[in-house]
Structure 1
Amino acid sequence: MGGSGFLGGELVRQSVAGGHVVAATCLTRPGTAPGAEWLPLDVRDRAAVAGVIGAFRPDAVVNAAFRQQDWTTTAVGAAHVAVAASGGGARLVHVSSDAVFSGGATSYPEDSVPDPVSPYGAAKAASEVAVQAIDPAAVVARTSLIIGDGGSGHERLVHALAAGGTPGRLFTDDVRCPVHVHDLAAALLELARSDRSGIHHLAGTDAVSRYELGCLVARRDGLDPARLPTGRRAGSGVPGPIDVRLDCGLTRRHLRTRLRGAREFLA
């Protein structure tokens, strides 16, 4: 679910490369990853979700569908997917976010209780509750900022800010553990093939601010980091946590996939 997004596209590419028969859903238009059957789907429509999963009869479903400003897509849609996947006997891996935490504790292991401070974080927290209640065998995988080789939203923002004329700032006090999209997709697919269940954290090993992350992207891409405007999230009025570091120690012990840190994959 959500195959036309940044993460979804990488999931499709890796699944096709692995020799799997892949169906990918999209809300408005198909993604660009070849080799998949593209199916239009609005996860807010429970009957439509049941129809797609019932017709394709997948062995596994990875739900990466969300819309930051839409509770129904992010929270209720996840419940629809869980009901249909469970009813069809499919293995479910649901992608969640570090936005479920407030940042008050800084470091968050897998057994941490969500305490969101933004509408998006609340929707993701609700999706986790729904998925685990409907399908206790499912995996709920929390992740952080997703970076790639030029295609992510954060990378595009860095380029726009460095070029000038684009409003915005990169916060120096907003800390996350970015993960490379290739590593994240590989870990999600590994979990889909496993017998694991419950909460898993999939994030990079380096805790960096959005500004430091921007500087790493700029240097990799030959841009001048000095052109990146900075600010502080504290007191800015922008909703969401400030410092959230996912502790992935427990999950890493069960994975073959290595989740690199930003300083490594952006070197």
Structure 2
Amino acid sequence: MNLLVVGASGFLGAEVCRQSVAAGRRVTGTYHSAAVAVPGVAPRRLDVTDRAAVRALLTEVRPDALVATPYRYDDWRVTADGAAHIACASAEVGARLVHLSSDALHAGRPAPYLDDDVPTPLHPYGAAKAAAETAVRAVDPGAVLVRTSLIVGEGSKQIQLCRDALAGRAVLFSDEARCPVHVADLAAAMLELVPTDLTGPLNVAGPEAVSRAELGLLVARHDGLDPTGLKTSTIAEAGLHRPAEVRLDSSRAAGLLRTRLRGITEVLA
């Protein structure tokens, strides 16, 4: 298989590349600023906001499948427009598209979100992710949209945030619940989706919901750190407007895929 990974220098993209190379796939990986550091991957620089450049690269590479993981938290052009450019070019060359989405497009509620729950974004990043999904589905109805949660693993921003909070350099909210997923599990699930005919949104996250503060305690236990210094607060106390409880029901993915999505307590055992 000829696979193109857009965002190969990122945390998840690099893991997708590693697993793909190990499986014997021919892999091209794109980057924007930080270089691709995975052996066996053909690196190509790409600005996803440049529609012509995206089209030119896909026309040249002609991938059988494309795993798209790029995003920039505060940049609509990368997160939304970039996704649209990728979907357009992918559809033109007939590639199977696995698009990475996020639980950030939900507003939060006590009940878990199902795969096909419509987006209800509260902030610009969530709105960009929702717009990206709309564009991808309109251009390429055959694409699968992987909605995931906090991506954890050694080297992840989420784990570092917990360590910073344990050192008093950051704050974790006790009322902000998510379903963390290990990067290796998520990458394996996305690659498993490539040869399937599944389309539309699919929740792919850990089965266990925890607050960010609880995640910090799990990291403390895993690292052997003193948890008493953990700095916590609530969204209300911080005066922020952001989703609180966002639980993804990933039972459909768990039933369809061979990849086992581990709970966070097992990951950080």
| TM-score bracket for this pair, using the shorter chain length | over 0.9
Shift of residue 48, structure 1, vs aligned partner: 0.5
Tell me the SS of whatever aligns to 2:238.
coil
Percentage identity across paired residues of the two chains: 53
- The answer to whether 1:157 aligns with 2:161 is yes
Amino acid at match of 2:98: V
Q: Which runs of 5+ in 1 are unaligned?
A: none
- Aligned partner (choices 117, 120, 136) of residue 131 of structure 1: 136
Determine the structure 2 residue equivalent to 1:189: 191
Cα RMSD (Å): 1.1
Q: Which runs of 5+ in 2 are unaligned?
A: 1-5
Determine the structure 1 residue equivalent to 2:81: 76
Which shows bigger deviation, 114-123 or 22-31?
22-31
Aligned equivalents of 1:240 and 1:184: distance in 2?
24
Aligned equivalents of 2:25 and 2:242: distance in 1?
38
Structure 1 residues 158-193: Cα deviation after superposition (integer angstroms, max 9, x where no partner): 2223234x2x21110000000000000000000012
- Aligned partner (choices 220, 228, 231) of residue 229 of structure 1: 231
Determine the structure 2 residue equivalent to 1:198: 200
Aligned equivalents of 1:90 and 1:227: distance in 2?
49
Shift of residue 105, structure 1, vs aligned partner: 5.1
Aligned equivalents of 2:221 and 2:110: distance in 1?
31
Contact 1:29 1:40 in 2 (8 A): no
Amino acid at match of 1:59: D
Which shows bigger deviation, 61-70 or 218-227?
218-227
Cα gap change, 1:259 to 1:48, in 2 (>3 Å): same
Aligned equivalents of 1:190 and 1:197: distance in 2?
13
Contact 2:186 2:261 in 1 (8 A): yes
Determine the structure 2 residue equivalent to 1:2: 7
Aligned equivalents of 2:228 and 2:39: distance in 1?
39
Tell me the SS of whatever aligns to 1:245.
coil
Determine the structure 2 residue equivalent to 1:19: 24
Aligned equivalents of 1:79 and 1:236: distance in 2?
34
Tell me the SS of whatever aligns to 2:194.
helix
Cα gap change, 1:40 to 1:170, in 2 (>3 Å): same
The size of the alignment, in residue pairs, is 264
Contact 1:43 1:49 in 2 (8 A): yes
Aligned equivalents of 2:234 and 2:53: distance in 1?
43
Amino acid at match of 1:195: D
Contact 2:96 2:194 in 1 (8 A): yes
Amino acid at match of 1:117: L
- For 1:110-149, list aligned pairs within 5 A: 110-148=115-153
Determine the structure 1 residue equivalent to 2:3: none
Contact 1:234 1:242 in 2 (8 A): no
Amino acid at match of 1:69: D
- Aligned partner (choices 44, 47, 71) of residue 66 of structure 1: 71
Cα gap change, 1:124 to 1:110, in 2 (>3 Å): same
Scaled by the length of structure 2, the TM-score of the pair is: 0.95
Aligned equivalents of 2:183 and 2:51: distance in 1?
29
Scaled by the length of structure 1, the TM-score of the pair is: 0.96
Determine the structure 2 residue equivalent to 1:98: 103
Cα gap change, 1:10 to 1:239, in 2 (>3 Å): farther
Structure 1 residues 48-91: Cα deviation after superposition (integer angstroms, max 9, x where no partner): 10111111111110110000100110001000000000100100
Determine the structure 2 residue equivalent to 1:244: 246
Shift of residue 38, structure 1, vs aligned partner: 0.8
